[in-house]
Amino acid sequence: MSEHITTGKGFAEIALENRKTKRTFLDDISKIIDWRPVEKLLKRHYKRVQSADGRPAYPALSMFKILLLQRWYTLSDEGIEEAMYDRISFVRFSGLSISSVVPDSTTICRFRNEIIKGELYKKVLKELNRQLEHKGIIVKQGAIVDATIIDSSRRPRKVVNVMDEDRSEGEEPKVDISYSSDVEAKWLRKGNKPYYGYKLSMSTDMDGFIIGGHMTPANESDTKQLKRVVEELDLPGRALILADKGYSSKANRDMIKENGYTDMIMHKASRGKELSYWEKLFNRAVSSIRFKVERSFGTLKRQYRFNRARYLGVVKTEMEFYLNAMAFNIKRAALLVT
């Protein structure tokens, strides 16, 4: 096999293009996504021109497309490496040549870590969403905001370390308790069930396309995350901000008003004061739209296996969310145009 990384078309590529294969959503992505601005953005931040063994580095756009394939088909780094040898559609989508050396799992992992720098993953989602918005697929009339728990990739195990150093005779030993190697994950009890991991605060447009979000330890308050979510979205004036009653606070309602948006946070009954007829009617109207963010959460968890994080720490888990969000939006948009 050639040791060079090539993307040019040879006889094999031309023959494969003319070969009849089963059509998938991968074939329709080029109808909605112009990869040139994405490639330009990646090249601006990804400067590697040589791989660790001295060969030319793989094209940044091809590596990024491999990360998307990994999410669409729920493959590990080793799994996507193997699939790139066997799946013609994967090679064709990535833009690599059939005679190219396939990037190994270590190279894929290294590239994924590179897009963390300067929050490149956020910039790429913004560019992809800009294109979908330009085509009328994403419509930013407003944002639906909600949160969900993402379990840590490390199952918590209570480890008790007895510290005997510098202990006086008769003194009780000091105890150090740790739960996991994922030290940035935190505990949260929801109902009667404890969770160990992270909290994803996410926003979608009115049709469920993901337009933003961020990750925090699981014990962070939902209510305090609304301001950060909304301020990252660059919404037009009078945009609707929909959220459940867990976000109902004076600070959040004031923030929405000050930014010129429309407050559509559901009303919450207080002690000794029931909701009025109109407040209940308002809540039902919001619920009839707000379920779309919950549907998007469901897809991320079921189809993209994002009920549990793959990586350690807030930053890497947030990067994982953004990659899943890009894959989610692109695939859904591609299926809409067919």
Ordered structural domains, the chain, with CATH: 11-115 (no CATH), 123-155+190-337 (3.30.420.10)
* Contact call for residues 241 and 261 (beta carbons, < 8 A): yes
pLDDT at 1 over 50: no
Q: Token digits for 248? A: 């109902």
Residue 97 — pLDDT band, cuts 50, 70, 90? Answer: confident
Q: Which of 73, 83, 79, 93 is nearest to 33 (CA)?
A: 93
Q: What is the DSSP letter of 243?
A: E
What's the pTM value of the predicted model, to 2 decimals? 0.87
Comparing 9-13, 66-70, 184-188, 323-327, the range with the smallest average pLDDT is 9-13
Cβ count near 293 (within 10 Å): 25
Residue 53: the pLDDT is: 54
Sequence-distant (6+) residues with CB within 8 A of 169 are none
Residue 46: the pLDDT is: 77
Q: Token digits for 159? A: 């480890």
Per the model's pLDDT, the better-predicted residue between 57 and 309 turns out to be 309
11: enclosing H helix or E strand: helix 11-18
| Tens-place pLDDT, residues 15-31 | 555 555 677 899 999 99
Residue 166: the pLDDT is: 54
| Tens-place pLDDT, residues 216-258 | 999 999 999 999 999 999 899 999 999 999 999 999 999 999 9
Average pLDDT of the chain, as a whole number? 88
Give percent above pLDDT 90 in the chain. 70
